Chains A and B, each alone.
Chain A
Amino acid sequence: MIICVAVVGLQNNPLYIQSFTDGDDALKLHYIVHCSLDVIDERVNNPKKIGSTLNETYLGLLYPSENYKVYGYLTNTKVKFILVTTDEDLKDADVRSFFRQFHAAYVDAVSNPFHVPGKRITSRAFAERVSTIVRSFGTSTTI
């Protein structure tokens, strides 16, 4: 189950963060998202250490903690998407397809002429679309 998604901008400024839990652990999730930014930086600056596919937008599993797994995605415009989940065994294809849909939603949101580039995304349509994507996560493996 996805418990948090976040969009982080060029200067590591939060653009959008949304948790999908009932409890008030928003602060903890913010902390997890923050930590993962360092991991992203490290991966992007030392791509040889990973040795995997060069400059792919999908960064894969960033780090596992006791309860969560954190996945990352970095667009060409240096905007980061972060996904926090509690699932133990996730298929890579599922995560990739999630990020692809999420990216499409993000692009549509920032193409709104009323959106100011580099500012928080406040669009309600975007929030609804994100929750739809999150709800459908893992239910279908079609790409």
Chain B
Amino acid sequence: MVREVSESCVDSVTMEMVAAYCGRFYANKQELAARRIEAIGYQVGLQLAERYTKERPRFADHLEAIKFICKDFWSELFKKQIDNLKTNHRGTFVLQDNRFRWLTRISLDSPLPTANGSPKESSTTSNDAKSAQAAGMHLYFPCGIIRGALTNLGVPCQVSAEVANLPACSFVIRIKG
């Protein structure tokens, strides 16, 4: 029995969740809002990890679990795999997604052309900063999902996200201990 969910509905729910926590429940406490959103993602990740690993053998080490996140887990969630996986072999992994699905719907004002007709260097950098700020809140949920999934697979870790230019982003996983 395969049940499917409309993609636009999931997009709406995730965006509305971020809007509700940041704008209404914890309007003046962005950090608390971020923690709450991350916590929701954590529980979702716990449950999804249980479901998606149902038919597969157990993982031998941490790398296998992270590879599973990059390939199968990401395919189940976003119909694509992580584009690039980097590691320093000391417990830090960087997962790069060149077109992260939950950021594709975020649009920003395009930089205004200056008098010379071409946007100046400074305006593009400020635009990058703005996009990073806007997207940052939307990345706590997927960070929580990754942390929840890995924790349930026996890899305690911390996850943070970075946005370079939309809709690309990277998730940094630091394994604890």
Which A residues contact B (CB, under 8 angstroms)?
53-57, 74-79, 103-104, 106-107, 110-111, 113, 117
In terms of DSSP, what is the predominant structure of the interface of chain A?
A: loop
B60 partner residues in chain A, CB cutoff 8 A: 54-55
Contact A75 B53 (CB under 8 A): yes
Classify chain B: how many residues form its interface, as a range: 10 to 19
In the bound complex, do residue B57 and residue A75 qualify as a contact, i.e. CB atoms below 8 Å apart? Answer: no
Majority DSSP secondary structure for residues of B touching A: loop
A107 and B49 in contact, given A55-B60, A117-B43 (Cβ under 8 angstroms): no
Residues of A within 8 A of B53 (CB): 75-77
- Interface residues in chain B, defined as those with a beta carbon under 8 Å from any beta carbon in chain A: 43, 46-47, 49-51, 53-54, 56-60, 152-154
Task: Please indicate the chain A residues that have their CB under 8 angstroms from the CB of B54 in the complex.
Answer: 75, 103-104, 107
Contact indicator B51/A76 (Cβ below 8 Å): no
Given contacts A77-B152, A78-B154, contact A107 B51 (CB under 8 A): yes
B43, B46, B153: the one contacting A76 at CB < 8 Å is: B153
Q: Complex formed: what's the CA distance from A74 to B54 in Å? A: 10
Residues of chain A within 8 A of B154, CB atoms compared: 77-78
The answer to whether A110 and B47 touch across the interface, beta carbons within 8 angstroms, is yes
Within the complex, the shortest CB–CB distance from B52 to chain A, in Å, comes to 9
Most buried by A among B57, B58, B152: B58
Jot down 17 A-B pairs with beta carbons below 8 A, ordered by A. Answer: A54-B57, A54-B60, A56-B57, A57-B57, A76-B50, A76-B56, A76-B58, A76-B153, A77-B50, A77-B153, A77-B154, A78-B154, A106-B50, A110-B47, A111-B50, A113-B43, A117-B43
